Structure 1
Amino acid sequence: MTLQTKTITSLFWAFIQQFSVQLISFCITIGLARILMPAEFGLIAMLTILVGIGSTLLDSGLASSLIRSTDLTERDFSTVFFFNLGGSIIIYWICYFLAPLISRLYHQPLLISIIRVYTLDFIINAFFSVQNARLVKDMNFKAQMMIQIPAVLIGGLLGIFLAFHGYGVWSLVWLALAQSFLSTVMHWFYSGWVPSLVFDKQCFKRHFGFGYKMTLSGLLDILYRNIYVVIIGSYYSVTQLGFYNRAESFSQLPVNNISMVIHRVTYPMFSEISDDDEKLKRVYRRIMQQVIFWVAPILIIMIILAEPLFTFLLTDKWLPAVPYFQILCLAGIMYPLNAYNLNVLKVKGRSDLVLRLETIKKFICLIGIFCATFFGIYGLLYFQLIFSVVAYYINSTYSSTLIGYPVREQFLDLWPIFAAAMIGGVITYVIDNLIVVPLSLGNLGRIITSGFIYCVVYLCTGLLFKLIPINDFKILILKK
């Protein structure tokens, strides 16, 4: 099987897996949001920084090292497995004893018991991290789909059942644990791999040498992405944190889904061609254009239709989250650009540059956040928007030197897509407010009508501009 055929096949299964799983997750989230209160989501949001740090430390970048490495043996996989398992137990007990301190930070006594149960997830996840890395390395996304769909569905239905019977925030806790447990069982079944009782110090040093820098950069990224949760949770009400949490989660849906699919396929693929800079640049350019072609318009139409979306899906009690959501959607457009510029450094084995970049960005970020706090929650949100642009410039400056793809050239390749998305947004916004809203079609009618108008305008504008992603899509998918 050629690299192109393998990539297209993997993309097909990865898209089916990602979107089927996310569709199920989305429906479950909607059901839970209609039953539970924003404050209960806020309590779980307070754990995000703890869970993020724990998960990053647990992996230590070793899974990424397995995916990018060649000539792996059974000793490599088993060594990483037992390191992750031992590390997960240590991390769990650290979280167990830190629980009272975190509870006092947020002034929420209930967090002590929640943390001590929820973080059992670390130990459960350690049992399938290597099996998952093997499936990703083999680009076997069909098996991952068969694993994740049942786990998400059964765990989600359990969460809704518990929420309906008055378990409140604990329904979210048991949902997470059930999904991880089911995922572990099925990873062992589908991967067909069982660790050997071996721990090789040389194998560990090999993977840790690459992974520890990725871990440090990952920790910096986790701290940055969750510092907003800490500040809002510490200085504002748990209900406001719940609004922010839902707004962020919803704004990240299209970004994470599309970007994650492309990332999971392209990371192992990029690793195969990492020594050919010209080919890497060519493939990277086309993938970036394709991702932005889908992400940008989805986020813009979500901004325009934010109010009817929240009212229809979550009910009126979540409307205060709408302005948060709109700002975060705008910032989310830059996320794929940042992520894929960093991917170039990773496949080149330059984890040292990734760490240096994250250090520089987070230093700038801390100064900006300190200044933004004086302007309240909206100051923090608008800073996220500004920093997303700054981070892109910093990331692309470094990666461009490795594959000869400078910032200016990236911008020239992407601006027609941004222009088409913005033109479609302006025209749809005017039609929505002057024609669609007065027709009183209801929230669902407005979403469908204005959404259809935007799709038509965006597609026509894209054809007028002769956007490259449209042609690539026709060649790769439609075979025309």
Structure 2
Amino acid sequence: MSKINNLNKDLKSGFIVSAIGRYTNFIIQLVILSILSRILTPNEFGIVAIINVFLIFFNMLIDIGVGPAIIQNKELNKKDISGIFSFTVLMSIIISVIFAFMSKPISKFYENDELINACLVMSLALFTSGINVVPNAVLLKQKKFLEVNKILILANSVSGAFAVMLAYYGFSYFSLIINTILKNLITFIIMVYISKTKLTFNLNLNNLKKIYTFSRNQFLFNFINYFSRNLDNLLIGKYISPKELAFYDKAYTLSLYPNQMFTNVITPVVQPILSEYEQQKDIIKITYLKITKLLALIGMPITIFIVTSSKEIILILFGEQWSGSIVVFQILGCSIWVQMILSSTGAIFQSTNRTDLLLLSGVLSTFLNVISIVIGIITGEIKYIAMILVVSFIINLFQANYLLMVKIFNSFQREFYKNLKDPFIISLFILLSLELVNTCLSSLPIAFIFVIKIVIMSLIYIIGLKLTNNFNFIMKIFRR
């Protein structure tokens, strides 16, 4: 029982710190994005969205699953960490140079000469991102969640303000790229100082061998998952248009914000803490079920709110020039609760040291998502791509949960699915109420409608939690 109490205590402090940091960063990023969306055009955002597809891939080649492996491995000493850090810095240099040389092939592939200079500058963003992998992992391993979040708040604030200034003075999409570079540099300097991570010129492969098995499976999962998550952007930019990609990317990014607000508060905390209970899968299972129930109680109502309020959200945040994102945002919004729960599963696979099953889940997810994206691209409409992807996400929820509940916990899936009953009932009443608002108040100003929807949703949500006896469950989790 004391182990459960210690776990609850660690999770509580980690979640609180992580939540404050994540929500502060979320507000900062949203404000900056809203300002930039009114200064820059969808086409300019589309240029950066195209490059980001390749940036994510090359950044993954630098990471190779090192971050989670450092957190999970309890046998690494300072010398090992220094060796791994030096290796990632060297890889950052090499792969950033390769990315810079890829600027012309990328521009030819998309038949857009603007991508050449953009890729050359973005190679610096790739380098500064790669060198952050180890210092960030070390701080998370040490459970210094407060320090990590303070650093991110500072970096996002300074780099965001600078990006707005550059955009205002006509630096176009370069303001978005420089924003990333500056944020990464500030983060790196402070994280290295706090974590006391040091470089060594004596590279030893034995340092990497200690984390090889874990990082290999993690890297293969990331590699496969990359195509699952980025093939849509890659093909939309090529076969439809950068402008349509900007609309799609804006909607997709916005649909991920609830994930960043809730799941990303949990995930950085869960693996460092639950990894200590690797051999006690019953404890991890209990924690997983509580987390998924909490995410369902939060995610399903948010999904309904976004689906019924997509127009107001897009126009209020970004303005009329982004109206092309409304329908896609509404469709992708249907998958928000699914993606919130799916995003939490990775940390559970890692905590039980079953990155082999994480890899299998990634293979299955990628297979479904790639097929869905290709079918959607054939239609030539971004809304159809979104529709088919939502179906794919739902199927992936079933397979990921099967691997966790049956293969890892030797349990029954119904333990998981019964957690969805109450959230579904609450969300159904919210849906009926908000649709009534849409029908009766459609002629009113959108800002006024938006406020009314928030008030009505909040009231029904609280009443629903009370009637289904889940209010105490949520309060109990936060107290514990």
> Do both share a fold (TM > 0.5)?
yes
Scaled by the length of structure 2, what TM-score is found?
0.94
Out of 416, 421, 424, the position equivalent to 1:415 is 421
CA distance in 2, matches of 1:35, 1:182: 25
1:148 aligns with 2:152: yes
CA distance in 1, matches of 2:116, 2:295: 41
Structure 1 residues 264-275: aligned runs within 5 Å: 264-275=268-279
Query: Which residue in the other structure is 2:459 paired with?
Result: 456
Query: CA 1:132 to 1:406, structure 2 compared with 1: closer, same or farther past 3 Å?
Result: same
CA distance in 2, matches of 1:301, 1:369: 26
1:404 aligns with 2:405: no
Query: Which residue in the other structure is 1:325 paired with?
Result: 329
1:431 aligns with 2:437: yes
1:354 aligns with 2:358: yes
Q: Does the 8 A contact of 1:281 with 1:405 survive in 2?
A: no
Q: Does the 8 A contact of 1:301 with 1:425 survive in 2?
A: yes
CA distance in 2, matches of 1:89, 1:127: 9
Q: Does the 8 A contact of 1:96 with 1:115 survive in 2?
A: yes
Cα displacement string for residues 226-266 of structure 1 (whole angstroms, at most 9, x for unaligned residues): 11111111111211111111111111111122111100111
CA distance in 1, matches of 2:474, 2:402: 29
Higher mean alpha-carbon deviation, 31-40 vs 43-52, is at: 43-52
Query: Which residue in the other structure is 2:391 paired with?
Result: 386
Query: Which residue in the other structure is 2:162 paired with?
Result: 158
Structure 1 residues 277-296: aligned runs within 5 Å: 277-296=281-300
Give the residue type in structure 2 aligned to 1:77.
I
Query: Which residue in the other structure is 2:369 paired with?
Result: 365
CA distance in 1, matches of 2:386, 2:192: 42
Query: Which residue in the other structure is 2:478 paired with?
Result: 477
Give the residue type in structure 2 aligned to 1:99.
S
Q: Does the 8 A contact of 2:125 with 2:177 survive in 1?
A: no
1:79 aligns with 2:79: no
1:295 Cα deviation from its structure 2 partner: 2.3
Query: Which residue in the other structure is 2:130 paired with?
Result: 126
Higher mean alpha-carbon deviation, 148-157 vs 120-129, is at: 120-129
Query: Which residue in the other structure is 1:344 paired with?
Result: 348
Out of 44, 61, 67, the position equivalent to 1:63 is 67
Query: Which residue in the other structure is 2:320 paired with?
Result: 316
Out of 437, 441, 447, the position equivalent to 1:444 is 447
1:384 Cα deviation from its structure 2 partner: 0.7
Query: CA 1:412 to 1:96, structure 2 compared with 1: closer, same or farther past 3 Å?
Result: same
1:198 Cα deviation from its structure 2 partner: 4.0
Give the residue type in structure 2 aligned to 1:424.
I
Q: Does the 8 A contact of 1:18 with 1:257 survive in 2?
A: yes
1:404 Cα deviation from its structure 2 partner: 3.1
Q: Note the residue ranges of structure 2 that are not aligned, 5 or more in a row.
A: none
1:233 aligns with 2:237: yes
Out of 21, 24, 29, the position equivalent to 2:28 is 24
**Structure 1 SS opposite 2:143:** coil
Q: Does the 8 A contact of 1:63 with 1:133 survive in 2?
A: yes
Query: Which residue in the other structure is 2:97 paired with?
Result: 93
Higher mean alpha-carbon deviation, 255-264 vs 200-209, is at: 200-209
Cα displacement string for residues 371-394 of structure 1 (whole angstroms, at most 9, x for unaligned residues): 333323222111111000111111
1:186 aligns with 2:193: no
CA distance in 2, matches of 1:120, 1:409: 47
CA distance in 2, matches of 1:381, 1:110: 28
Give the residue type in structure 1 aligned to 2:436.
V
1:196 Cα deviation from its structure 2 partner: 4.4
CA distance in 1, matches of 2:411, 2:257: 28
1:65 Cα deviation from its structure 2 partner: 0.7
Higher mean alpha-carbon deviation, 25-34 vs 323-332, is at: 323-332
Q: Does the 8 A contact of 1:342 with 1:399 survive in 2?
A: no
Q: Does the 8 A contact of 1:393 with 1:407 survive in 2?
A: no
CA distance in 2, matches of 1:36, 1:305: 24
CA distance in 2, matches of 1:122, 1:317: 30
CA distance in 2, matches of 1:72, 1:59: 18
Cα displacement string for residues 13-60 of structure 1 (whole angstroms, at most 9, x for unaligned residues): 100111101110110000000111001110110012211111211111
Query: Which residue in the other structure is 1:305 paired with?
Result: 309
CA distance in 1, matches of 2:373, 2:46: 21
